Amino acid sequence: MRDFSNDHRALALNTASLGHNLEGSGAGWSAERIIDACAERGLGAVVFWRREIGSRAFQIGERVRAAGMTVAGLCRTPFLVGSQASDARAVMDDFKASIDMAAALRANVLTIVVGGVEPGTKGVEDSLKIVADRVAEAAPYAAARDVKLALEPLNPVYAGNRSCLTTLRDAVDLCDLIAAPNIGVAVDVYHVWWDTDVAAQLQRAGADRIFGFHLCDWLADTTDVLLDRGMMGDGVADLKALRNAVEGAGYSGPCEVEIFSANNWWKREPGEVLDVMVERFRTVC
């Protein structure tokens, strides 16, 4: 396992940690200010959300690279299934638009959050079949633009309305079914910390299909399952064991901090958030 105690260049900021995934949240720093702050602290990469990029993908990507970093990823595709994905053509058009944005940023990975259970169905099997079909349709379009697509399983608490994909096992099954070299998985501590099968599924995925590793923590007494994530070290997830499993399966890419925290970290000065991130990354991850 890599030693980050004296070298945190593998650390990446997901700008959701500053509230940039939701309109009106956080301190509202510009992309340029975030880039500069990350570079000053020696981070190696940044991950943006589509809502903050707008029509400036190329310019923002160039600014990141000029600062000596990479764009590790882009969040995210539209929901591909569920009540918010009723118009299949509109979904696929937006899916392709997200791929185009990732390509313009030269982001390494576009994250897929699949959406909830398809209206009129029960359980998740029918919904996962729709996901497989739509990702398979988009995979060649993404490959032609040098974009990798990362299926991110979410914690089962979101199965109904945000992600019918809730286990790494099912995510790897989808990768096997779609069988495209640019389709892989993103592993987020918040969503998999509880799953005792993770290490085995990471070995199934292998180094070529693990596209991302996301850090945060699960607070034992969380007040909001969506917007009360913990800073690394403040919760009950075994961060070192999870990273050991991810790296043991061959992953050597960025470790991306993604903390949704409406009533704590988003209310703090962004520079403080970044400083604590660096310290915790070097000591508890």
Percent of the chain with pLDDT over 90: 96
On the question of pLDDT at 7 being above 90, the answer is yes
pLDDT computed for residue 232 by the predictor = 98
Q: What are the φ and ψ backbone dihedral angles of 34, each rounded to 5 degrees?
A: -65, -45
Q: Does 285 have pLDDT greater than 90? A: yes
d(CA 196, CA 193) in angstroms, rounded, equals: 8
pLDDT in tens, 124-173: 999 999 999 999 999 999 999 999 999 999 999 999 999 999 999 999 99
For residue 195, pLDDT over 90 is answered with yes
Q: Sorting pLDDT into bands at 50, 70 and 90, what band is 21?
A: confident
- 49: confidence class by pLDDT, cuts 50, 70, 90: very high
Which residues fall within 8 angstroms of residue 115, CB to CB, at 6 or more apart? 78, 79, 80, 81, 82, 84, 85, 127, 131, 162, 163, 164
Tokens describing residue 88: 């299949």
- Give the pLDDT confidence score for residue 182 in this predicted structure: 98
Q: At residue 26, does pLDDT exceed 90?
A: no
Q: Peptide bond preceding 76: is omega within 30 degrees of 0, i.e. cis?
A: yes
Across residues 33-53, what is the average pLDDT? 97
pLDDT value at 57 more than 90:
yes
Nearest to 188 by CA among 158, 160, 208: 158
Mapped onto helix, strand or coil, the DSSP state of residue 108 is coil
Task: Tell me the helices (H) and strands (E) count for the chain, helix number first.
Answer: 10, 8
Write down the pLDDT at residue 27: 82
The pLDDT score that the predictor gives to residue 23 is 82
Per-residue pLDDT at 28: 87
In this prediction, residues 221-241 reach a mean pLDDT of: 97
Q: How far is CA 65 from the centre of its chain?
A: 20
Query: Mean pLDDT over residues 226-232, rounded?
Result: 98
- Judge whether residue 187 has pLDDT over 90: yes
Pairing of strands 45-49, 11-14: parallel
In the predicted model, is pLDDT for residue 24 greater than 90?
no
Note the pLDDT of residue 176. Answer: 98
Residue 26 identity:
G
Mean pLDDT for all residues in the chain: 97
Q: Look at residue 22 and tell me whether its pLDDT is greater than 90.
A: no
Q: Is the pTM of this model over 0.95?
A: yes
Query: Could you give the domains of the chain?
Result: 11-284 (3.20.20.150)
Model confidence at 114: pLDDT above 90: yes
Measured in whole angstroms, the distance separating CA 105 from the mean position of its chain's CA atoms is 16
**Cα 51 versus chain centre, distance:** 15
Position 247 scores a pLDDT of 98
Average pLDDT over residues 70-77: 98
